[in-house]
Structure 1
Amino acid sequence: MGEDKLQKLLAELQQQGTVITGDLRDALAVALGKLPLVSQREFDTQAEILKRTREKLARLEAQVELLEQKLAEQEKDSPTSRQ
């Protein structure tokens, strides 16, 4: 008779575990639905845009540095700076 009660209790616990698991799954789905998530495709697109932007910035920085060097040389060589 004690074994029957244990079997019944075990079955009830398994049933409750299934209900709790389902509730947790639903709660998790709601919580994830509220997060500002993006798709992998959108993430990859934005990552590629960022990569190209960084490359362009590096090129522009190099151009600015070159122009600054040329300007410094011109100022050094200009007659007004030799006084």
Structure 2
Amino acid sequence: MINPAKLEEIAKQITENMPQGVKNLADTIEGKTKQAIQNKLSEMDFVSREDFEVQSQVLLRTREKLAILEQRVAALEAKLAEKDAE
């Protein structure tokens, strides 16, 4: 397998040996590409990791409460069935 550090070193050497005009063009393209990606990502409806974690915890608590309520309903239905059977 190729060592990522070695690849980074090779890329750095290539970049250092490029003519200044090519470096400027590469920097311009990189900047415009980053800007385009950021613009597209900002248009998308993403949530932050923090918001996701908060909502996951809310969902977990809701599921726990639902399980408790389901048990209570089952117990009440059982009592009601016992009374109806009498």
Class of the TM-score when normalised by the shorter of the 2 chains: 0.5 to 0.7
The 5 A counterparts of 1:12-23 are: 12-23=21-32
Distance 1:70 1:14 in 2: 80
Q: Which has the higher contact order (CA 8 A, sep 6+)?
A: 2
Structure 1: runs of 5+ lacking an equivalent:
1-9, 78-83
Distance 1:32 1:15 in 2: 26
Q: For residues 9-60 of structure 1, what are the alpha-carbon distances to aligned partners after superposition, in whole Å with 9 as ceiling and x for unaligned?
A: x635544333222211110010111122222222221111111111000000
Distance 2:27 2:44 in 1: 26
Counterpart in the other structure of 1:80: none
- Which among 35, 55, 59 is matched to residue 64 of structure 2? 55
- Which among 37, 47, 53 is matched to residue 46 of structure 2? 37
Higher Rg of the two aligned structures: 1
Give the TM-score normalised by structure 2.
0.65
Give the TM-score normalised by structure 1.
0.67
Structure 2: runs of 5+ lacking an equivalent:
1-17
- Which among 13, 17, 25 is matched to residue 34 of structure 2? 25
Count of residues in correspondence between the two structures: 68
Q: Could you say what the CA RMSD is over the residues aligned between the two structures, in angstroms?
A: 1.7
